Structure 1
């Protein structure tokens, strides 16, 4: 996994599990709105809603996106 420049030293994203925006934003070099737009276009992993106000992303899908953001396509997009 490539670590973005704004990620704290030693920061890692677990391979398994789910993460909220606050946990993944240090690895994503764009704004939350840009992520939302890419989600709608199928170019970023889709979020899952645990509750009405709690959204999470699959860590495995985030790792796939980090490995190849230009060619990533969300399943079912």
Structure 2
């Protein structure tokens, strides 16, 4: 018996709304996952939203703001 993957294909563009995991937007991201995590900790990248211990999402609207101007981005408190 062959088990098929339930993983969805990665779109060519990042949707304007909704939530995404790092693996879904990493091809658009100019930094590594660890650097993105560090920038998020410093509030210089979108803040993570934890759904569980291993499930982290980011808001797509915030990701678009950050991708348009990563140097001047500041996460809201």
TM-score by length of 2: 0.82
- When Rg is computed on C-alpha atoms for both structures, the one with the higher figure is 2
Q: Does 1:31 align with 2:32?
A: yes
Secondary structure at the residue paired with 2:57? strand
Moved over 2 A (4+): none
- Aligned partner of 1:50 in structure 2 is 51
Gapped runs of 5+ residues in structure 1? 1-9
Higher relative contact order (CA 8 A, sep 6+): 1
TM-score by length of 1: 0.82
- Give the length in aligned residue pairs: 67
Q: How does 1:1-12 map to 2 (within 5 A)?
A: 11-12=12-13
- Aligned partner of 2:69 in structure 1 is 68
Secondary structure at the residue paired with 2:36? helix
